[in-house]
Amino acid sequence: MKTKAFLFLLLSLSIFVCESDYGWAGDDDTILWLRSHFPPYYITKGPDAGTGIADRVESMLQKELTNYKHVSMEANWKRVMQLMKTGANVVSLTLLKTPDREKYIEFSALTSVKPTNGICVRADDSRFEGVDAISFNRLLGLEGFKIGIMHGRSYGEGIDALLKKNVNHENIIVRSSPDGVNGLFQMQMVGRIDAVVCYPQEIKWAADQLVFTHKVKQLRVTEQEYLNFSYSGAPKTAWGKKIIAEINNIYKKHNILKITSIALEPYLDETTVRWYRKEAEKLYSRN
């Protein structure tokens, strides 16, 4: 028991030292930019690392926020939320706004809009032949039907509400890993899970990376709206509010919503692009 206690203390001290090195312990002149592997927004792995939509936005912000030192770090969604709750001097650019998160996160103006999360199933699954949309509640009622999600990630109001209501449901498989949704797709391909909750652009990205094009298809979830809205966020502290105000000024100058919307189009199929472009353009003049 003493050995375990010592190891725990040693680990805690190591984490504290690491966090101090990154300016997490009160260095107001340093911004720690948190990124999770979330193609095509954050791309942290492979030959395209650093070229994602949010990667490019982060680079733009760093160039304009000249009064700060900048450090970037990869962290899974669970870790991002933990750091936001502690009030550390961190920023993340691809957050969905939820009532719970608004308690501890200061959100920016609208940063990006994207087609909402749906359900990715195997194309040869006979249960979904000819089906384009399905109730998430109904999926939870299918015996032995395993649905993969990422720990700490928000999927939109409809799915989030059902996940919260069914937090310990045996059909929900929760994964916490730095490989993002790719790990869930790999689990699906080998039959460990039946479906993945994800965005349509994530399917296209993963299909190119994991070589499973035409083996999966996306189902719209009837409890969800058609679009998801993402924001940049920092802790709800005096420092966080100051940073977000500065970020908002930069976003307004560059019309960030138009930039991120146009950048997303190459990752969508032609049918989705047509309706998505119309919906995104409606929002440009409002933000």
- Note whether 128 and 212 are same-domain residues: yes
Phi, psi of 142 (to 5 degrees): -80, 120
177 and 236 inside one domain: no
Cβ contact 71:195 at 8 Å: no
Domain match, 100 and 124 both = no
Q: What is the mean pLDDT of each run of 10 residues along the chain (287 residues)?
A: 40 39 64 93 90 97 97 92 96 95 97 94 90 93 95 92 93 87 88 93 78 75 92 97 98 96 91 88 79
What was the pLDDT predicted at 8?
37
Block residue for tokens 């999360």? 117
Burial-class residue 231 by CB neighbours within 10 Å (0-12, 13-18, 19+): buried
Closest residue by Cα to residue 108 from 276, 272, 254, 279: 254
Report yes or no on 87 lying in a domain: yes
Query: How many CA atoms does the CB half-sphere of 87 hold within 13 Å?
Result: 7
Q: 63 and 83: one domain?
A: yes
Sequence-distant (6+) residues with CB within 8 A of 17 are: none
What is the pLDDT, as a whole number, of residue 287?
Answer: 62
Which residues partner with 101 through β-bridges?
none
Choosing from 168, 198, 221, the residue where a domain stops is 221
**15 is a domain residue:** no
What per-residue confidence (pLDDT) applies to 181?
85
Count the domains in the chain.
2
Residues 125 and 108 in one domain: no
Of 221, 240, 268, the position where a domain reaches its end is 221
Residue 16: predicted pLDDT: 39
What is the reported pLDDT for 26? Answer: 52
196, 258: one domain:
no
44 within some domain: yes
Domain with residue 249: its CATH number is 3.40.190.10
Answer for the pair 24, 79: CB distance below 8 angstroms, yes or no. Answer: no
Residue 14 lies in a domain: no
pLDDT of 25: 46
Q: Do both 82 and 133 map to the same domain? A: no
The residue segments making up the domain with residue 141 are 118-221
pLDDT at 57: 98
Give per-residue pLDDT as tens, 87-143.
999 999 999 999 999 999 999 999 999 999 999 998 889 999 999 899 999 999 999
Q: Are residues 217 and 234 in the same domain?
A: no
Domain boundary among 221, 240, 258: 221
160 and 183 fall within a common domain? yes
At residue 272, the pLDDT reads 84
Are residues 98 and 33 part of one domain?
Answer: yes
The shares of helix, strand and coil residues in the chain, as percent rounded to the nearest 5, are 45, 25, 35
